[in-house]
Amino acid sequence: NEKALGHSVSRSSNISKAGSPTSVSAPHSFSRTSVTPSNQDICRICHCEGDDESPLITPCHCTGSLHFVHQACLQQWIKSSDTRCCELCKYEFIMETKLKPLRKWEKLQMTASERRKIMCSVTFHIIAITCVVWSLYVLIDRTAEEIKQGQTTGILEWPFWTKLVVVAIGFTGGLLFMYVQCKVYVQLWKRLKAYNRVIYVQNCPETSKK
């Protein structure tokens, strides 16, 4: 039991190190040949053996001690390095992605200043949109009244045309404003989806047959 506990603690420590920024370049220190004299198959990232809960997979063409890796270790490495292929053999990983259930979604990891900026931005945009919509409503309403008066008199005064131009400019500006801001929020939504996406790396077909 003490050996099993020590093995578990050692693996947890190694995985946490693998997720650190300094470990992103860890695969660069490996060669394509075995560097471990042990006869047991071990993970190339955390250097721990596989078990029933975390079996080892063979996602690329690397051989020797670099042949195996834990799914969780590789997922963490892919997210931290933003790489979709092995940096040694250049084999592109066969990956399957799916979103977590909505109730299990996690918030984006942002600093307090970033959260404040987003909240201020959302508040400002709501106020700005409200002002634009209200201003357009008032201008359109008054313009409609002047059109009715012009139909009775047969003359449309220059203030009517001025208001019409203002309405057109305001409407166009409002559309452009909404388009730009929607792009910002769409990018934020994509970031949130990517953050809550689970990546499953499959075995390389050639190596899994061996």
Question: Quick one: which of 63, 67, 94 has its CA closest to 78?
Answer: 94
Residue 44 has pLDDT above 80, yes or no: yes
Q: What does pTM read for this prediction?
A: 0.46
How far apart CA 114 and CA 66 sit, in angstroms, is 40
Question: Quick one: which of 70, 44, 47, 73 has its CA closest to 57?
Answer: 70
Q: Kindly state the percentage of the chain with pLDDT values over 90.
A: 6
The pLDDT of 3-14, averaged and rounded, is 45
Residue 50 has pLDDT above 50, yes or no: yes
The pLDDT of 132-138, averaged and rounded, is 80
DSSP state of 27: G
The pLDDT of 56-66, averaged and rounded, is 89
Task: Summarize pLDDT for 10-22 with one digit per residue, the tens.
Answer: 454 444 444 443 3
| pLDDT classification of 210: cutoffs 50, 70, 90 | low
128 CB contacts (<8 Å, ≥6 apart)?
177
Question: Quick one: which of 209, 116, 131 has its CA closest to 170?
Answer: 131
Residue 143 has pLDDT above 80, yes or no: no
For domain 2-93, the question of CATH label 2.40.50.140 is answered with: no
- For the beta carbon of residue 58, count every other beta carbon within 10 angstroms: 19
Residue 152 has pLDDT above 70, yes or no: no
188 CB contacts (<8 Å, ≥6 apart)?
118
Residues 169 and 186 sit within 8 Å (Cβ to Cβ): no
Residue 24 has pLDDT above 70, yes or no: no
Run of H or E including 98: strand 95-99
Amino acid 38: pLDDT: 52
Pick the range with the lowest mean pLDDT from 38-47, 58-67, 75-84, 161-170: 161-170
Residue that wins the pLDDT comparison between 70 and 174 = 70
Amino acid 7: pLDDT: 45
Pick the range with the lowest mean pLDDT from 1-5, 47-51, 93-97, 165-169: 1-5
Domain ranges of the chain: 2-93, 112-195
Amino acid 23: pLDDT: 42
| pLDDT classification of 41: cutoffs 50, 70, 90 | confident
